[in-house]
Amino acid sequence: MKVGIIGLGLIGGSLGLDLRNCGHIIYGVSRKESTCNRALKKEVVDYADINLKSLSTVDIIFICTPIGLISQTLKQLIPHLSKEVIITDVGSVKTCIVKECESLWTNFVGGHPMAGTAEQGIEAAQKNLFKNAPYVITPTEKTPENSMKILEELAQSLGSLVYTCSPEIHDQSVAWISHLPVMISASLIAACSEEKDKSILKLAQQLASSGFRDTSRVGGGNPELGVMMAQYNKTALLHTLQGYSQQLDEITEYIKTEQWDSLQKLLMITQQERSPFIGIEKNS
């Protein structure tokens, strides 16, 4: 197939590497000439261009821009398309993206390959980034079934674990396991740093070890990414924050009123309930 990729960063670049390796012809588009040259040199793409019209003959296009640019990229792209190619995206939030994009282009299929590294940009692009990682495809009633199938097959050819669900189910799930953790982890760092007794704060910093390091990790991550999650997945994230806050109140109440049996019972449940999220029952 002729595959177009718009946005040659970590995700777009890594997709190019693997799909090219599968025998597809890759047409890359980046806003920067220098990125196009790097992509050609790294053999991420067969062709690279700064113009969207270079994609006029491809069969499927992956929009791999930052989430805030997906629908406007699609708008700019449409005039250059001569036929009903499949368009998909890799945005980490789906409901609003899919709604906007499928109203602009009938043959749109939302997707979310859930892979990444701490690094970004074309230099971070790597082979097998998506292997054994989830690739969620989020069709709606309007999504052409055949297009969904083609995306599914491409995702499988990357070695991904393909899941199919509605955009809403996707967004609520990632709110729980990805976006909520960022907010509760950031709140931990912020609350600690607000400790007014400087000798306590300093000792806390000196004594902090793996427990603090792990619990605070995602809260110390990329601020733009955190804001983006909240902006694009506001409703689902607020739903999780509400449930979380109630849970926190409950645990606080157990401690305040010394209901140690209830606290013990809760901690026994959380010890068990964590397994299906991280345990051997998972494929990844």
Q: Which of residues 138-167 bind its own copies (CB under 8 A)?
A: 161, 163, 165
The reply on whether position 247 binds its own copies by CB under 8 A is yes
Residue whose CB is less far from its own copies, 57 or 231: 231
The reply on whether position 234 binds its own copies by CB under 8 A is yes
Stretch binding its own copies (CB under 8 A), from 32-40, 46-54, 123-131, 211-219: 211-219
User: Largest alpha-carbon pair distance within the chain?
Assistant: 69
Residue type, 240: T
Q: In the range 95-124, which residues lie near its own copies by CB under 8 A?
A: 114
The reply on whether position 244 binds its own copies by CB under 8 A is yes
Separation between Cα atoms, residue 234 and residue 150, nearest integer Å = 31
- Judged by CB under 8 A, the residue of 34, 51, 206, 280 near its own copies is 206
The reply on whether position 65 binds its own copies by CB under 8 A is no
The reply on whether position 284 binds its own copies by CB under 8 A is yes
Stretch binding its own copies (CB under 8 A), from 70-78, 95-103, 142-150, 238-246: 238-246
Distance of closest approach, residue 69 Cβ to its own copies, in angstroms: 16
- Judged by CB under 8 A, the residue of 94, 177, 232, 280 near its own copies is 177
The reply on whether position 172 binds its own copies by CB under 8 A is yes
- Judged by CB under 8 A, the residue of 34, 141, 211, 280 near its own copies is 211
- Judged by CB under 8 A, the residue of 26, 227, 232, 280 near its own copies is 227
Starting at the earlier edge strand, list the strands of the sheet with 86-89: 47-49, 25-29, 2-6, 60-63, 86-89, 108-113, 134-138, 161-164
- Judged by CB under 8 A, the residue of 84, 119, 123, 195 near its own copies is 195
- Judged by CB under 8 A, the residue of 23, 145, 278, 280 near its own copies is 278
